[in-house]
Structure 1
């Protein structure tokens, strides 16, 4: 029994549509005149044919094939694919089988949100295109170039401050590597507009929640986060049995599939002990959740990590972290958001940890976003809460 929903997508190959790059991109991105259509491919969230989700200007509502091609090209990829009317996926090769789909273009029939004259894949289908100068389809999906500023870095914050707003998070305004934020809920508390706010449904609602629906349907909402640590049982976790979490996803989150990027539940991926529901770890909790969430659509995995900066026996906390993130990707076959992570140690030890893991995450095509814990005095802020700490400056600039 498949535990993950198959998603169809159409892959775009540079060849058919004339493209014009903006003046800003012209200096850094080679102009390509055409994209070649590769066909209608079968996609699957357990093994993406194109592993890198990207956004286009205007969000999913503005999706069209040319916009996706431009976004993929700017990110250093040579293959682009549109899916579910408003999703854009990129890579340098089509992997995990994928297609072309055995029934041809039959299910690549969803009109692009930004151009009703085009199709942008469909349910379980991806429209795929490739650059005329693309690598072989057996090559790696590593970007051909790694931008100096990735925009992957985010802020985990709340409104627990004297002004009861996002003032702490807004201290990071102007640092180009920091692009998004979330607060374990869905009011943003006036997060500055320069950051993308990502609403989270922290736990199971007791019933329909119009405020959640309104937050997700806000024009600037591009992605949504699901339950916070439902795999754990301590007081600050949402502590939800896998089957109940799956039922909650189907009711409150799945209705937005295709219009918003949907994250899997935020689980502590390095938990090797018992978890919500029984004597099994968080990775197993996730598998039980997926087994119950039949028909669910996921765009990215969301994981947490907490461990010593320098574990016992002289081992490297940075190596532990990188191995853990890699394991999550290899297990779930989805782009990874590390929505909480921290190493336990002195400020200097944490900075040394970040100096290793931040460049590594920025260089990994499958790490889509991450947020260090957290935007609070004594952490990424100084004790007074009126500026960045030394650790915060390292997070913003490394």
Structure 2
């Protein structure tokens, strides 16, 4: 999500107590603190416009197909690293970062800041990927081209349109945004879908299914899907199963652009969080269908301290491959 600077008290994805509106439209509710000032949360439940869209067919494959069908998308590790780090830098590993607390200590190969233009100075060899966060596309075409001129390898589309406190856009709006803002860059770079959540109270994968089911051009132009994963549990099996199932359903390479155990900012359970990362990172590295991943993120108290030095958790994220 956009900028969770005050995440300590976050209660993400809790269902609201108010009853859902009635009618043919399918409604989902999320109760969160609005993040940033990019959008104001509506005063009603958020709906996926299923009543005006075509239900897509499910596309599934066997588990063996998952590993083989996208072998050409697998990323390998390189020996390059930030000047301040001796860690091996995976070409898959990135991070979402806050401009003010950008650190050059993390061993990463790419980064994004939920914006269309880079902020701060990234380490040599770290690629910045521009993002169109939501409805406001002012300056997007210029910023996206600038990003490509500076070495961006992809453009990212929308941040959690399935959650009303984030970009909060229904499928029709998402399609219009894609055709207007992303399609002009098709053939120039990799285009990555809107990032949806794993919340059972949000539309998540259904949003992408309806997006692809109602826009053949959008599906053809989408190189990879962006997905987010959060949980109160340290259950790594659930993490692995969710992404494997998502790939089998959507049949697109996956960019995990946010993931973490809930309350990742707290100082408690650091050892459990380290063990979680030490389990899921090698797994993500080994999966051909996962092209990129970025934990959330470089903010004080999580991976970095106020002075930019790495926390214990940040060192684990940086050094685990």
Asked if TM exceeds 0.5, the reply is yes
Which whole-Å CA distance do the structure 2 matches of 1:224 and 1:207 have between them? 16
Instruction: Identify the residue that residue 303 of structure 1 maps to in structure 2.
Output: 227
More strand by share: 1
CA distance in 2, matches of 1:306, 1:376: 17
Task: Measure the CA separation in 2 of the matches of 1:187 and 1:336.
Answer: 23
Q: Is the 8 A contact 1:309 1:349 kept in 2?
A: no
CA distance in 1, matches of 2:145, 2:164: 30
**Contact 1:247–1:293 under 8 Å retained in 2:** no
- CA separation of 1:272 and 1:225: change in aligned 2, threshold 3 A: same
Counterpart in the other structure of 1:160: 100
Residue segments in structure 2 that go unaligned for 5+ positions in a row: 1-53, 58-65, 78-87, 264-268
**Which one has a bigger Cα radius of gyration?**
1
Are the structure 2 counterparts of residues 48 and 321 from structure 1 closer, same or farther at C-alpha, using a change threshold of 3 Å? closer
User: In 1, distance between residues paired with 2:299 and 2:76?
Assistant: 32
For 1:304 and 1:367, the matched residues in 2 are separated by: 13
RMSD: 2.7
Deviation of the 1:219 alpha carbon: 4.3
Q: How many residues align?
A: 241
Report the secondary structure of 1:187's partner residue: coil
| SS of corresponding position for 2:315 | helix
Contact 2:117 2:144 in 1 (8 A): no
Runs of 4+ with deviation above 6 angstroms: 1-4
Once residues 132 and 249 of structure 2 are traced to their aligned partners in structure 1, the CA distance between those partners, rounded to angstroms, is 24
Q: For 1:38-53, what aligned pairs fall within 5 Å after superposition?
A: 50-52=69-71
**Could you give the per-residue CA deviations for residues 119-149 of structure 1, whole angstroms, max 9, x where no partner exists?**
xxxxxxxxxxxxxxxxxxxxxxxxxxxxx86
Indicate yes or no: 2:271 matched with 1:271: no
Q: Which residue of 1 aligns with 2:289?
A: 366
Residue 198 of structure 1: how far off its partner (Å): 0.7
Residue 274 of structure 2 is matched in structure 1 by 351
Aligned position for 2:176:
247
Quote the Cα distance in structure 1 between the aligned partners of 2:314 and 2:169.
Answer: 33
CA displacement at 1:193 relative to structure 2: 3.1
1:396 corresponds in structure 2 to 318
The residue that corresponds to 2:104 in the other structure is 170
Counterpart position of 1:336: 254
- Partners of 1:205 and 1:301 lie apart in 2 by 21
TM-score, normalization by structure 1: 0.56
1:206, distance to aligned residue in structure 2 (A): 5.3
Residue equivalent to 1:223? 154
**Which residue is 1:82 aligned to?**
none
- In 2 relative to 1, CA 213–381 (structure 1 residues): closer, same or farther, beyond 3 Å? closer
Following the alignment from structure 1 to structure 2, what is the Cα–Cα distance between the partners of residues 267 and 216?
23
Return closer, same or farther for 1:159/1:302 CA change in 2, 3 Å cut-off: same
Question: 2:139 & 2:128 partners in 1: Cα distance?
Answer: 22
Q: CA deviation at 1:49?
A: 9.1
Could you say if the C-alpha distance between residues 52 and 265 of structure 1 is closer, same or farther in structure 2, counting changes exceeding 3 Å? farther
Relative to its length, the structure with more helix (as a share) is: 2
Higher relative contact order (CA 8 A, sep 6+): 2
8 A Cα contact 1:151 1:179, kept in partner: yes
Could you tell me how far apart the structure 1 residues matched to 2:178 and 2:99 are?
26
> Would the aligned equivalents of 2:72 and 2:288 in 1 still touch at CA under 8 Å?
no
SS where residue 157 of structure 2 aligns? coil
Task: Give 1:233's match in structure 2, choosing from 149, 164, 179.
Answer: 164
CA distance in 2, matches of 1:351, 1:260: 35
**Corresponding residue number in structure 1 for 2:215:** 293
Q: What is the TM-score when the length of structure 2 is the normalising length?
A: 0.68
Can you list the C-alpha shifts for 1:68-87, whole angstroms capped at 9, x where unaligned?
Answer: xxxx9x959xxxxxxxxxxx
Aligned-residue offset at 1:210: 4.2
Q: Contact 2:130/2:154 (CA < 8 Å) preserved in 1? A: yes
Tell me the distance in 2 between the aligned counterparts of 1:352 and 1:193.
29
What whole-Å deviation, never above 9, does each CA across 1:265-314 have from its counterpart, x for those lacking one? 1000x2211x4xxxxx322122122223231211111100010233xxxx
